[in-house]
Amino acid sequence: MRQVHKFKAVDVCQFPCLSDNYGFLVRDRQSGQCAAIDTPDADAISAAAEAEGWTITHIWNTHWHPDHTGGNLALKERWDCTIIGPAAERDRIPGADRLVEGNETVSLGDVPADIIATPGHTTGHIIYHLASEGVAFVGDTLFALGCGRLFEGTPAQMWDSLLKVRALPAETTIFCAHEYTAANARFAVTIEPENRALLERHEEIIRLRQEGQPTVPTTLSREAETNPFLRADNPALKSAIGMTDADDVSVFAEVRQRKDNF
Ligand code: ZN
Ligand code: FE
């Protein structure tokens, strides 16, 4: 089930890949330049590009995990595209042509994408923020009602990374890399059982998934109200888990640990 989301200057094609990943193609309508955001499945990504009549000119990797870079070489072979990935993971990004760090900008035609370093899930994880479009591709840093597991980073690093994401404009459309939302929602309601917005969203997510609909993309404003991992500094959440006087990083670490054991 392929969808195309339209923004000011770009279109974003979204389609399921592997068991629970999403593939994304973002295309600047004016120049025709088109980036695959990560490469969970080269065949599915090529098929989507062909179905839309788009030519893949770039791959923008968020981090090295195989469900994000596994299709790099096959796509490069097929499309002769330029691969951009995080400098901190240079040896683990197959076929990388350009390595980037936070505070750099890449572009599709005249549309810039700011690179923001968000270490935590992996040490080099980056996200791509298209400010002029109000769009961010956040990989495995932030999920709808969740966040990435801390495979390589500390809670303090991840909390700092999530604060950078939360600082983007509230109406930013957030494209995350996995459809984990139903499981995340089941967990989130155990943290804030009295958060009305969360309870309503839980119902909506159950309905969407029963209908086979994606819950991605989400928006930052919705996440700020309901995602426990973005709310570790919120007095209501702290109180709900009995950590009223704890510092934000400790609260974030506790919520992350509860999710790991959920
Ligand atoms: Zn990952
Ligand atoms: Fe992943």
For residue range 12-45, list pLDDT tens digits in order: 999 999 999 999 999 999 999 999 999 999 999 9
Judged against a pLDDT cut of 90, whether residue 1 lies above it is answered with: no
Evaluate whether 154 touches 139 at the Cβ level (below 8 Å).
no
Residue 172: the pLDDT is 98
Give me ligand 1 centre to Cα 27, in Å.
24
Judged against a pLDDT cut of 90, whether residue 82 lies above it is answered with: yes
Average pLDDT score over residue span 223-244: 98
Residue 1 CB-density burial (10 A; 0-12 exposed, 13-18 middle, 19+ buried): exposed
| CA 198 to the chain's CA centroid | 20
CA-to-CA separations, 78 to 28, 81, 82, 154, in angstroms, rounded: 20, 8, 12, 38
For residue range 40-57, list pLDDT tens digits in order: 999 999 999 999 999 999
Q: Which residues lie near ion ligand 1 (Cβ < 5 Å)?
A: 65, 140
For residue range 185-199, list pLDDT tens digits in order: 999 999 999 999 999
For residue range 203-222, list pLDDT tens digits in order: 999 999 999 999 999 999 99
Give me ligand 1 centre to Cα 150, in Å.
10
Q: What is the dihedral of CA 119, 41, 59, 135, to 10 degrees?
A: -60
Q: In the chain, what are the domains?
A: 3-260 (3.60.15.10)
Average pLDDT score over residue span 153-171: 98
Residue 247: the pLDDT is 98
Amino acid at residue number 255:
V
Residue 71: the pLDDT is 98
CA-to-CA separations, 129 to 14, 102, 136, 153, 172, in angstroms, rounded: 17, 11, 4, 22, 9
Give me ligand 1 centre to Cα 30, in Å.
32
Ligand having the closest approach to the CA of 148: 1
Ligand having the closest approach to the CA of 39: 2
Structure tokens at 257: 């640990």
Give me ligand 1 centre to Cα 19, in Å.
14
Ligand having the closest approach to the CA of 152: 1
Percent of the chain with pLDDT over 90: 100
Element spanning 226, H or E? helix 220-226
Structure tokens at 126: 């980056």
Give me ligand 2 centre to Cα 211, in Å.
24
- The DSSP code sequence of 11-35 is EEEEEEETTTEEEEEEEETTT--EE
Residue 13: the pLDDT is 99
Give me ligand 1 centre to Cα 49, in Å.
23
Ligand having the closest approach to the CA of 178: 2
- Residue 244's pLDDT band (cuts 50, 70, 90): very high
Q: Which residues contact 234 (CB under 8 A, 6 or more apart)?
A: none
Please tell me whether residue 237 adopts helix, strand or coil conformation.
helix
Q: How far apart are CA 130 and CA 239, in angstroms?
A: 36
Give me ligand 1 centre to Cα 152, in Å.
10
Q: How far apart are CA 109 and CA 8, in angstroms?
A: 14
Residues marked active site are found at: 63, 65, 67-68, 121, 140, 178
